[in-house]
């Protein structure tokens, strides 16, 4: 590799890169390593050398089902932390050598499970100096989902009572911290073995959903963050006060739920996460001030992406799984 100083347009002269691809939909076994050309940035784009790539349920769901993406072959992954390799025309925010983290535009801006990735400049912000790439790579998609649900959509305010389902999960454990940082009273649902973990995140109450009916235990809720869907939604309405809002990360509305909520003077919104420079800046600020940190449930080298998918698909991890590339 030929190295130059940070104010040049490129750091290395690599022509090809390793990536994890698939030629068909299916289980983890369809994933395999391929050699692809290193892309070149166009106007308002940066090329990032990937150091760490966060894993999210949407990865295995797209691996096995067509969902939003076109037919394979494709390279999965949206979360990334790395170093700017080169920049396109008109880019002023970053120079080669800068450490950055962010999320590719969801869902079609995909492909971070590789050694390099091309992305719009403003999908990224500077990586906070106090965390490493693994920690940074775990944060963007899940934290942006929580931020856009609680802050942008629900307009969460200090003192609001917030119920967060799957509070130990990838989105949930970051949502707990974001809600606490903004002065909310947080109630989380989690299995009993994960209660200490959720309390350590700052939750005021934790409900064992296996043993207790959260619909009876949690009351006067202003905001519900639902990452599960199904019967959790009508049951969550039973916890909410008039004027409350349920924000679900399940993009397809449950039939009749909006009408049921409206009849009780409540509201339901279904959210898909979006690349968001302002949101990433706010998240980076929380990281810098020590109010937000991802819990790393495990790391896997890029070539073991299939094994990471197997672990992710169990839905038993507390926190995030991350692929390490450099």
pLDDT of amino acid 3: 38
pLDDT of residue 63: 96
pLDDT above 70 as % of the chain: 96
pLDDT in tens, 234-280: 999 999 999 999 999 998 888 888 999 999 999 999 999 999 999 99
For 51-94, where are the alpha helices, taking DSSP H only? 57-64
Edge-first strand listing for the sheet containing 16-22: 31-37, 16-22, 74-75
Residues 6+ apart with CB under 8 A from 141: 54, 56, 58, 78, 79, 103, 106, 273
DSSP character string of 203-217: -SEEEETTTS-HHHH
3-state secondary structure of 302: helix
Q: What is the pLDDT of residue 251?
A: 86
Give residue 206's pLDDT: 97
User: Any idea which of 11-20, 35-44, 293-302 has the lowest mean pLDDT?
Assistant: 11-20
Q: For residue range 107-155, what is the model confidence (pLDDT) as tens digits?
A: 999 999 999 999 999 999 999 999 999 999 999 999 999 999 999 999 9
pLDDT at 10: 61
With 0-12 / 13-18 / 19 or more C-beta atoms within 10 angstroms meaning exposed / middle / buried, residue 119 is buried
Q: What CATH number belongs to 142-270?
A: 3.40.50.720
Return mean pLDDT, the chain.
Answer: 94
CA distance 142 to 176: 12
- Give the pLDDT band of residue 8 (cuts 50, 70, 90): very low
Q: Is the CA virtual torsion 224, 102, 62, 177 positive or negative?
A: negative
Report the 10 Å Cβ neighbour count for 189.
27
Average the pLDDT over 268-293 and give the result. 97
Res 302 pLDDT > 90: yes
User: Is residue 11 scored above 80 in pLDDT?
Assistant: no
* Band of residue 14 on the pLDDT scale cut at 50, 70, 90: confident
Instruction: Tell the residue number behind the tokens 């990281």, with chain if given.
Output: 287
- CATH 3.90.180.10 assigned to domain 16-139+294-324? The reply is yes
Angle at 154 (CA atoms; ends 150, 158), nearest 5 degrees: 70
Count Cα atoms within 13 angstroms, Cβ side, for 127. 27
CB-based burial, 157-182: b 16+ in 10 Å, e otherwise? eeebbbbbbbbbbbbbbbbbbbbbbb
Rounded Cα gap, residues 263 and 276, in angstroms? 33
H or E element in which residue 232 lies: helix 232-237
Q: How high is the pLDDT of residue 66?
A: 76
Could you tell me which residues come within 8 angstroms of residue 27 by beta carbon, excluding any fewer than 6 positions away? Answer: 63, 64
Inform me whether the pLDDT recorded for 1 exceeds 60.
no
In this prediction, residue 5 has a pLDDT band, given cuts at 50, 70 and 90, of very low
pLDDT digits 0-9 by tens, 32-89: 999 999 999 999 999 999 999 999 999 999 999 978 999 999 999 999 999 999 999 9
Look-up of token digits 């934790």: 206
Peptide bond between residue 107 and the one before it cis (omega within 30 degrees of 0): yes
Say whether the peptide bond before residue 73 is cis (omega within 30 degrees of 0): yes
The domain locations on the chain are: 16-139+294-324, 142-270
127, 142 contact by CB (below 8 A): no
Please tell me the distance from the alpha carbon of residue 220 to that of residue 159, in angstroms, as a whole number: 12
- Longest CA–CA span in the chain (Å) reads 65
């Amino acid at each position: 590799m030929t190295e130059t100083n940070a104010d040049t347009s490129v750091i290395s002269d690599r022509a090809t890169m390793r990536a994890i691809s698939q030629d068909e939909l299916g289980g983890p076994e369809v994933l395999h390593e391929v050699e692809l050309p290193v892309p070149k940035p166009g106007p308002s784009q940066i090329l990032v050398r990937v150091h760490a790539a966060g894993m999210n349920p949407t990865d295995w769901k797209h691996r096995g089902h067509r969902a939003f993406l076109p037919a394979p072959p494709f390279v999965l992954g949206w979360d990334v932390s790395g170093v700017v390799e080169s920049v396109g025309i008109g880019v002023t925010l970053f120079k080669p050598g800068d450490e950055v983290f962010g999320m590719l535009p969801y869902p079609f801006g995909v492909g971070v499970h590789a050694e390099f990735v091309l992305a719009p400049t403003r999908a990224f912000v500077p990586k906070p100096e106090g965390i490493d790439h693994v920690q940074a790579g775990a944060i963007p998609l899940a934290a942006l989902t929580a931020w856009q649900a609680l802050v942008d959509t629900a307009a969460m305010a200090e003192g609001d009572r917030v119920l967060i389902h799957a509070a130990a999960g990838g989105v949930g454990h970051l949502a707990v911290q974001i809600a606490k940082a903004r002065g909310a009273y947080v109630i989380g649902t989690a299995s009993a073995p994960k209660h200490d973990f959720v309390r350590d995140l700052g939750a005021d109450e934790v409900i064992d959903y296996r043993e207790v009916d959260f619909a009876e235990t949690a009351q006067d809720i202003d905001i519900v963050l639902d990452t599960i869907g199904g019967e959790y939604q009508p049951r969550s309405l039973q916890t909410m006060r008039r004027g409350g809002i349920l924000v679900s990360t399940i993009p397809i509305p449950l039939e009749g739920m909006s009408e049921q909520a409206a009849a009780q003077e409540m509201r339901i919104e279904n959210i898909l996460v979006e690349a968001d420079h302002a949101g990433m800046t706010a998240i980076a600020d929380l990281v810098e001030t020590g109010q937000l940190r991802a819990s790393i449930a495990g790391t896997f080298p890029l070539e073991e992406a299939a094994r990471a998918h197997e672990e992710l698909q169990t839905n038993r991890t507390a926190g995030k799984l991350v692929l390490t590339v450099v």
